[in-house]
Amino acid sequence: MTVQGVKYMSDFEAKKAILDIGRRMYEKGFVASNDGNISCKVGPNTIWTTPTGVSKGFMTQDMLVKMDINGKVLMGKWRPSSEVKMHLRVYKENPDVQAVTHAHPLVATSFAIAGISLDAAVLTEAVMGLGSIPVAKYATPGTDEVPDSIAPFVNTHNGVLLANHGALTWGKDIYQAFYRLESIEYYATILMYTGNIIGRQNLLSCDQVNKLLDIRHKLGITAGGIPPCSPEETNAKDVVSAADIRPAEQSGPGPVLKGVTSIVRPGENPAPAGCGCSGTSGRLTASEGQKAIGAEALGKAKEEIIAEVVRRVIEGLS
Ligand SMILES: [Zn+2]
């Protein structure tokens, strides 16, 4: 159906898509039990949405509810989720939105609990597709506080974290809304790995971010915010892997280590005094690493690195 130049899904298409997205949401672990909700417009003032008290992975079409955007139920025997209020507010605040998804993905929700917005310029796709994702202030689920908390972001961003609760996204169709939910969880996971497990992030420079924003504009994405960027380029040099490093005393071809910090085995090359790092994860400067690391040691060092990263990932997830 097309109304005033805007194309809408049919009732059949919307219901089928909601069931499809519900299954994906459940299978990806974005929701537990009966959590989460989905809605999709079928006209300027009408939506289909998910019922309360049902797992989103096991819904059937007869469970879905048709409503107008003022909250009046038009069709369906089940009760809509009390959280549909925030969906209705999104539609009212931004008439261009055609669908809304809400879930509690593990990592994104953990950021929401910590009160940390997703706004570091570290991932090109996230800058282009999402921008920054703020944390809306805490609101009691099911109350009018929730729509009020998200309203300020609906026209300027593509999604929001709900403090101590979960994530909410919207889009020009139901798939874009869901992909943004996926992207938020992916972005949050990258931020957790780099910021809290690996412990290092090379921020994109402001110039690099500006180029990504140009691409975002050309893609027709008009909202999203701009994550903070680095004034300097920190990623403008090639990074040579430890296995490719040629010990300085050996002759023959091979890349020479420049500007790369190597991790070496504990005990073999104690960390230099005053570097502030431990023997286990001690890091040497490029020239020191070049002198110290032999081919055999490098192989063992790689195993140590992998074991250390796995240990930190397990620690981070437990
Ligand atoms: Zn929720």
pLDDT tens, position by position, 145-175 = 999 999 999 999 999 999 999 999 999 999 9
Query: Residue 249's pLDDT is what?
Result: 53
Q: What is the pLDDT of residues 42-61, one digit of tens each?
A: 999 999 999 999 999 999 99
34 Cα: distance to centroid of ligand 1 (angstroms): 10
Strand-pair partners of 136: 162
Q: What is the pLDDT of residues 56-98, one digit of tens each?
A: 999 999 999 999 999 999 999 999 999 999 999 999 999 999 9
The CB density around residue 186, as the number of other CB atoms within 10 Å, is 18
- Domains of the chain, earliest start first: 2-218 (3.40.225.10), 242-317 (no CATH)
172 Cα: distance to centroid of ligand 1 (angstroms): 22
Q: Which of 245, 268, 269, 247 is closest to 255 using CA atoms?
A: 245
141 Cα: distance to centroid of ligand 1 (angstroms): 7
pLDDT band at 275 (very low <50, low <70, confident <90, very high): very low
Percent above pLDDT 90 for the chain: 67
CB 38, CB 29: distance < 8 Å: no
The whole-angstrom separation of Cα 85 and Cα 99 is 13
CB 158, CB 130: distance < 8 Å: yes
CB 212, CB 227: distance < 8 Å: no
CB 41, CB 9: distance < 8 Å: yes
Q: What b/e string do you get for 69-101 counting C-beta neighbours within 10 Å, with b at 16 or more?
A: beeeeeebebebbebbbbbbbbbebeeebbbbb
Q: What is the pLDDT of residues 125-151, one digit of tens each?
A: 999 999 999 999 999 988 999 999 999
55 Cα: distance to centroid of ligand 1 (angstroms): 13
309 Cα: distance to centroid of ligand 1 (angstroms): 33
Examine the pLDDT at 282 and tell me if it is beyond 80. no
Q: Which residue has the tokens 């397990």?
A: 314
